[in-house]
């Protein structure tokens, strides 16, 4: 009889431990938990700049998922935006088109919004295709960090 109760207790313990979320346990005890990770979005006073001089910055230092934010873009005078897209870098969230509107000869502005997933900190990638006046196209990638 004792063996039967021991067997039921063992099965119950394994079922209960299997139903718990081990990632939560690891997350809460990890020294490198997502809440302690450092991230920095591109801002007006510290924009992200690619090797050809394209500058990108966001309206907020902390961007929250499912809330709109602005993206500013500054390009060389001979460049124009062909297309832009946001895509999840560390999660599968698809591609979100970004539509820039010119506000001057070298500046563009867009309003964007990204979705949420289960990650506390989500890394997105802004990919911008630029075309020069002589037909040369370039592609640039910029990081975007979003919190829940």
CATH of the domain at 79: 2.60.40.1930
| Residue 148 confidence (pLDDT) | 83
100 near 109, Cβ under 8 Å? yes
Torsion of CA 107, 64, 90, 100, to 10 degrees: -20
Average pLDDT of the chain is: 80
Residue 129 lies in a domain: yes
Question: Could you read off the pLDDT of 66-122 as tens digits, one per residue?
Answer: 999 999 999 999 999 999 999 988 788 889 999 999 999 999 999 999 988 888 889
Classify residue 116: in a domain, yes or no: yes
Q: Can you give the residue range of the structural domain that contains 91?
A: 34-147
- Tally of domains within the chain: 1
Does residue 29 lie within any of the structural domains? no
Is the pTM value of this prediction over 0.85?
no
Give the H/E segment covering residue 6.
helix 2-19
Q: In what order do the strands lie in the sheet with 107-112?
A: 48-49, 55-58, 69-74, 107-112, 101-102
What phi-psi label fits residue 135: left (phi over 0), alpha (psi between -120 and 50 degrees) or beta? left
């Amino acid at each position: 009889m004792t063996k039967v109760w021991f067997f039921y207790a063992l099965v119950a313990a394994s079922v209960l431990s299997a139903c718990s979320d081990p990632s939560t346990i690891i997350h809460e005890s990890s020294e490198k938990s997502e809440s302690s990770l450092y991230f920095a979005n591109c801002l007006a006073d510290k924009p992200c700049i690619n090797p050809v001089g394209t500058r990108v910055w966001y309206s907020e230092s902390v961007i929250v998922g499912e809330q709109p934010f602005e993206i500013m873009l500054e390009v060389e005078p001979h460049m124009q935006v062909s297309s832009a897209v946001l895509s999840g870098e560390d999660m599968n969230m698809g591609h979100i088109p970004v539509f820039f509107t010119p506000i001057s000869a070298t500046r563009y502005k867009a309003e964007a919004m990204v979705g949420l997933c289960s990650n506390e900190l989500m890394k997105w990638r802004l990919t911008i295709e630029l075309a020069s006046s002589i037909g040369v196209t370039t592609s640039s990638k910029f990081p975007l960090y979003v919190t829940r």
